[in-house]
Structure 1
Amino acid sequence: MKLFWVRLVVVLTLLTGVNYVAWRWLSSLNWDAWWIAVPLVAAETYSLIDVLLFGMTVWRLKSRTPPATAPPDATVDVFITTYNEPLELVMTTALAAKEIRHPHGTWILDDGDRPEFREMAAANGLGYVTRSAEWHGMPRHAKAGNLNNALMMTEGEFLLILDADQIPEPDILDNTLGYFNNRKVALVQTPQYFSNVPAHDPLGSQAPLFYGPIQRGKDGWNAAFFCGSNAVLRREALMQLGLVGYVRETEKSIRRALRASQAAIRKARKAADNGSTLLHETLNEVEAATLEASRQLDAGGSLSEITYRARRRVDRAVQALVLADVSALQADLEEIAAMAPVEIGEAGVPVVTEDAVHRMSARDWSPLGAIESVQAVLDALSVERTGEAQPVMPLATISVTEDMATAMRLHAMGWQSVYHHEVLAYGLAPEDVGTMLTQRLRWAQGTMQVFLRENPLVQRGLKWGQRLMYFATMWTYLSGFAAVVYFAAPIVYLLFGILPVSSLSADFFVRFIPFMVVNQFLFAVAGKGIPTWRGQQYSLALFPTWIKACTTAARNVWFGRPLGFAVTPKDRQSGGPRWSLIRPQLVVSVLLAIAAAVGIGRLAAGMSEPVGTLVNVVWVVFDLIVMSILVRAVRYRGYGAGDSEDETDVNNGSSKERAVRAPELQSE
């Protein structure tokens, strides 16, 4: 019954939204102020697409029944990833993981290579993995590289991946492994829940909307994706992904090399128009080798055999040219010796003689230089990936977050995923605004890197529903640009009286108000009591973070600018409130307040229209309420500072202690 009401509200959102935005484009633009009118309607169009993508997500809300009993013989490796987290925190998680009831091996994946971790793991009967020597001097790929390294050093059929702070319940495998009785399931993701978050959640850490209707909706489209922790993955699927990815990347590399070779050959021909017959024959042979290699690639031939034959054929052609040119090289040397190119000038300084300049410019030199670039490009025709510590990388390394890209590739290969809506591990959320901003920036950067490198809308193997589900997540991070316009529009009107719409007539309100009401009703119905306001606040208030994520990811993908990688600290950072972290939002808030005061003053002086002023003042008040969460976030002193007395110490508390504060998220 709930799904019926959700779909009804989605349809109403579509009708009212399209009705409003179409009218805005066709009938309401103030072209005299196009510089604010067009950006505003573009931002509204963005928001309509955003809410419709959300509506499509919840159109297939999935309510799963508990899975069958876990296969008793299923072998599992529990991976606990760590880089620089405190020993006590990691060991609390590792010892809790050791107590998981289903038979398994527990491994600490220490990317910091710390001897005390190795000793502590051995003393407690835990496995310990760090990078092998092959990684020295090679790209490390952060957490993805850590996991890929461990995959090659363990053998479990399934992998439970936990962040260093995510304490698991003993029945986490009992409640999830049963899904893998379906041989097509590659991933089971459970919610990430944080036990050090007060009820008012000032940093917006819990994400109940995402770990609720959004993931359940994506699950209905077979697009629930890996979130980096609290997930069980099938090793077979990951290894298949790594092998297929290796072959695809190698083939792409070979095709690029062959295309570059063709371009180099064309340049060599121009440079050797007057060259020897042997040179032209060599270029013809090199070109024929690359064309034949391309044909064999199209026919699905063996990459290693194709590259081997092409390189051998080119090497033979070049060797023949070199042997034939030995006499020419000798003649070149004799010619240079006969030139007597240097003499002592009047000032006693050696100078090149006029005769030497004439004879050097007139001579036809050895043609070897003309094909040097061709041979250099053809050196790329190799199936060896010598620039990586290990050629097969099962977890994606194309972004600073490995999770989404890995899941998208698994789905493209036909694997299925499951979202299990039950809290089975309890972690630690950031306890200061600086750490929270670092975390959100990294998530957004990673998502946008995936979007720019592997746009889901054009990925082969994905169904259209899956493509749109991945695209919906990526689309949300463009909201920072729309937010700037939403803040600017009321400021422009209240300060200067410039209205971006032709008029605030009844036509405007009769379209705008129903759309906004139905829009909010959709979140209420889909969430079924889940608090979504905090998420809506941060979606708007963190606009500088979202803009920075988009621009830095674009510079990284398009121009190779490094992003860096920061592990989210698990302890509150010392020091007082850091207002500088939200300086752009403070500036916008001050401008909004000034604009409201000026607008009210203009209205009192009879210089502005009452309806327009009232609408924009209400708009400003809403924006200031949204921004106010950042003031609370900066002033937040960490969990326990002002909370109830019966709260336990979450840094050392057991999973059971954390569980008493978790909402009940059982499969429906």
Structure 2
Amino acid sequence: MPAPALPEVTPSALSGEQDGLSESVDRRRGARDSPSLMMLVLIATIGVLLYTTFLFDFSNRGSWLPYLMVLTAESVIIFQALLSLWTILSSGHNPRGYRFHNAQNRLWGAAGKAPDFAESAADDLVALPMHLHETPVAVDVYITTYGESLDTIRRTVSAAVAMYGRHTTYVLDDGKSDDVRALAAELGAEYIRREGNAGAKAGNINHALSVTSGEYFVILDADFVPKPDFLYQTVPFFAESKVAFVQTPQAYGNLGNLISKGAGYMQSVFYRFIQPGKNRFNAAFCVGTNVIFRRTAIESIGGMYMGSKSEDVWTSLHLHEKGWKSVYISTVLAVGDTPETIEAYTKQQQRWATGGFEILLKQNPFSRKRNLTLDQRLQYFGTATFYFIGIAPGLLLLVPPMQIFLGLMPINTGVSFGQWLLYYLGFYFLQVVVALYTIGSFRWETLMLATASFPIYTKALIAAIRGKDQKWSATGATGKKASPYNFIVQQLMAFAFLVLTSIVGIWQAMTVSSFTLALCWNLLNTFVLGAFVVTAVRESRANKRAEKGLPPKESRRSKRAGRAFEVTAGGDTPARPAFTAAAPVPARSVDTDADRTYDALTPVGR
């Protein structure tokens, strides 16, 4: 099939990229298509399989209890590793085909000529009618709010109103604030408030659907600031009648502390490689924001799913069961906030994990009742079981103390250290190598959160089993910050236990003049969990300073990082990531090439 002609104004021109540079040839797609990456993934897969054979060779078994604990935890990790590697191998698929480019060429009308974006006035750009199959389309933009600050809402609404292409912006205020109503009127957005808060975010969106009529609707969380070309980059996909939604990445501009960095880095591989890989299987799922839906698709399943706080994944699952198609593009089209406090991180992760476990328990993807392809079943099963990987560290933390206190070893003494290390590094070291290649560096903040989060995911599993509803909490909601210690009781107890174990282990080593692998392992766990406890201490001190009205203390490193994100494009409001828009939007200046945007917002070294 011949390559489609480029529109007169290319996506690169809209994004501020250099002429001729598109996502199909940018550095990130090059990484996904790289033979080197494919080779690394295949080698890593071999490493996983070899480690699996070593682990399940019962002749290597030590004491039954620690061995079974290691076997259980590592089996979860192995399964997720294999599924991730398989999905990454499929991540070179480009969803932009001839139909997309043809529709994008004609988005502004049958003539296929876009206006001169550099010369056109902002109001003219916003008022441009969009077309699919030569027919005008109506687009609604929903900004869901629930107690976020007015500054946060202002940034998002201002940018949403200024997006290119005719659309109507609605503020869906579940916080029922008259100040938000006034702000929406000031910025030229419509305001919708409902009675009660049934169904949380999903209920809020369903209510908006009942009082609006756009053929397509965008969902933006209150803290995600969209680029002006959001609609230009996404609406053309709907030229294909079976496309239900187009999802774009979550990128973050508030990576200022250990919690926000760890939470942000944890999702880097997912948005860069896993979601693109899911395109190949028609299994990319909605992540709740930065997404545009076809109204008729949502109506076909009775609206956004309201039976879970993870309405995004559940809605995606039901759409795929109905035969609808999903599209994920890795171009960053909106930038928002990741959790900055232990409280926010805990609530977010517990909500997400509960939703995943609910899918496994209530709607098992491998059930005969599910109308899914085999590939979709496997992908959704991986999503539903993913958070077991967060429980696994809790089991592994107990293994070294069992050897130090009780002399129980998971591997028998007949296995040499060199033999064990060869298999172990063949698994874990190669996983690190793949991570280094895909996201550019090893991030210890992610290791810290992964180690410390096992109580969160354990609670989520229990909540899903009990059918206990999770209280909704917006990431950027305002209000008095609770003490971080309220959310890390189990982590504090685990840290104290590991410190005691380390002391005993060091005493034993000094007595017998031999440092064991169990002691080294325990010391590493103690250090990592200790870093999390120190983070909680610092956060508690910062909260107390805030309560007294004192400015936060910043380290020199934090100040340098802050200066790297200084505002360079108009406005007096606090700095926030955004992009050159048709109308001035207070924002950080960010390079809008998709790959370079990730570098700036999620500094992972690629």
TM-score by length of 2: 0.75
Measured after TM superposition, the shift of residue 411 of structure 1 is 1.5
For 2:142, the equivalent position in structure 1 comes to 79
Q: How far apart in 2 are the matches of 1:652 and 1:522?
A: 34
Q: Secondary structure at the match of 2:159?
A: helix
For 2:254, the equivalent position in structure 1 comes to 196
2:293 to 217, 225, 233: 233
1:135-146 superposed matches below 5 A: 140-146=198-204
For 1:8, the equivalent position in structure 2 comes to 39
**Structure 1 residues 199 and 597: alpha-carbon distance in aligned structure 2, compared to 1, 3 A threshold:** closer
The answer (yes or no) to whether the contact 1:196–1:650 under 8 Å persists in 2 is: no
For 2:118, the equivalent position in structure 1 comes to none
Give the length in aligned residue pairs.
Answer: 501
Measured after TM superposition, the shift of residue 424 of structure 1 is 1.5
1:432 to 333, 337, 341: 341
1:619 to 516, 521, 539: 521
Deviates more, 1:116-125 or 1:487-496: 116-125
Unaligned runs of 5+ in 1: 243-393
The percentage of counterpart residues that share the same residue type is 29
**Structure 1 residues 537 and 215: alpha-carbon distance in aligned structure 2, compared to 1, 3 A threshold:** farther
Q: How far apart in 2 are the matches of 1:516 and 1:23?
A: 14
The answer (yes or no) to whether the contact 2:247–2:286 under 8 Å persists in 1 is: yes
RMSD of aligned C-alpha atoms? Answer: 2.9
The answer (yes or no) to whether the contact 1:161–1:231 under 8 Å persists in 2 is: yes
For 2:164, the equivalent position in structure 1 comes to 101
Q: How far apart in 2 are the matches of 1:87 and 1:18?
A: 52
Aligned residue identity for 2:424: F
Measured after TM superposition, the shift of residue 433 of structure 1 is 1.5
1:419-498 superposed matches below 5 A: 419-458=328-367, 460-498=370-408
Measured after TM superposition, the shift of residue 215 of structure 1 is 1.4
Q: How far apart in 2 are the matches of 1:179 and 1:531?
A: 35
Measured after TM superposition, the shift of residue 128 of structure 1 is 1.9
Q: Secondary structure at the match of 1:655?
A: coil
1:583 to 476, 485, 489: 489
Measured after TM superposition, the shift of residue 654 of structure 1 is 7.1
Q: Secondary structure at the match of 2:56?
A: helix
Measured after TM superposition, the shift of residue 429 of structure 1 is 2.7
Q: How far apart in 2 are the matches of 1:4 and 1:23?
A: 29
Q: Secondary structure at the match of 1:155?
A: coil
Measured after TM superposition, the shift of residue 663 of structure 1 is 7.6
The answer (yes or no) to whether the contact 1:107–1:127 under 8 Å persists in 2 is: yes
**Structure 1 residues 62 and 629: alpha-carbon distance in aligned structure 2, compared to 1, 3 A threshold:** farther
Q: How far apart in 1 are the matches of 2:392 and 2:188?
A: 53
For 1:43, the equivalent position in structure 2 comes to 73
Aligned residue identity for 2:420: F
Aligned residue identity for 1:514: G
Q: How far apart in 1 are the matches of 2:159 and 2:215?
A: 21
Q: Secondary structure at the match of 1:79?
A: strand
CA deviation digits over 1:211-259, x for unaligned, max 9? 21121222232211101001111112111222xxxxxxxxxxxxxxxxx
For 1:255, the equivalent position in structure 2 comes to none
**Structure 1 residues 102 and 659: alpha-carbon distance in aligned structure 2, compared to 1, 3 A threshold:** farther
1:247-396 superposed matches below 5 A: 394-396=303-305
Q: Does the alignment pair 1:60 with 2:98?
A: no
Q: Does the alignment pair 1:22 with 2:53?
A: yes
Measured after TM superposition, the shift of residue 572 of structure 1 is 7.8
For 1:271, the equivalent position in structure 2 comes to none
1:534 to 419, 430, 445: 445
**Structure 1 residues 182 and 21: alpha-carbon distance in aligned structure 2, compared to 1, 3 A threshold:** same
**Structure 1 residues 226 and 106: alpha-carbon distance in aligned structure 2, compared to 1, 3 A threshold:** same
Aligned residue identity for 1:208: S
The answer (yes or no) to whether the contact 1:16–1:511 under 8 Å persists in 2 is: yes
The answer (yes or no) to whether the contact 1:111–1:146 under 8 Å persists in 2 is: yes
Aligned residue identity for 2:295: R
For 1:205, the equivalent position in structure 2 comes to 264
For 2:27, the equivalent position in structure 1 comes to none
Q: Secondary structure at the match of 2:171?
A: strand
**Structure 1 residues 28 and 396: alpha-carbon distance in aligned structure 2, compared to 1, 3 A threshold:** same
**Structure 1 residues 95 and 533: alpha-carbon distance in aligned structure 2, compared to 1, 3 A threshold:** same
**Structure 1 residues 625 and 463: alpha-carbon distance in aligned structure 2, compared to 1, 3 A threshold:** farther
Aligned residue identity for 2:499: A
Q: How far apart in 2 are the matches of 1:509 and 1:196?
A: 38
Measured after TM superposition, the shift of residue 564 of structure 1 is 2.8
TM-score by length of 1: 0.69
Q: Secondary structure at the match of 2:301?
A: helix
1:559-570 superposed matches below 5 A: 561-570=468-477
**Structure 1 residues 103 and 464: alpha-carbon distance in aligned structure 2, compared to 1, 3 A threshold:** same
Deviates more, 1:598-607 or 1:630-639: 630-639
Q: How far apart in 2 are the matches of 1:46 and 1:81?
A: 35
Unaligned runs of 5+ in 2: 1-29, 108-129, 544-551, 580-585, 599-606
Aligned residue identity for 1:174: Y
For 1:343, the equivalent position in structure 2 comes to none
Q: Does the alignment pair 1:518 with 2:430?
A: yes
For 2:20, the equivalent position in structure 1 comes to none
CA deviation digits over 1:509-529, x for unaligned, max 9? 33223222223223233x152
Measured after TM superposition, the shift of residue 568 of structure 1 is 3.1
Measured after TM superposition, the shift of residue 58 of structure 1 is 0.7
Aligned residue identity for 1:655: A
Q: Secondary structure at the match of 1:397?
A: coil
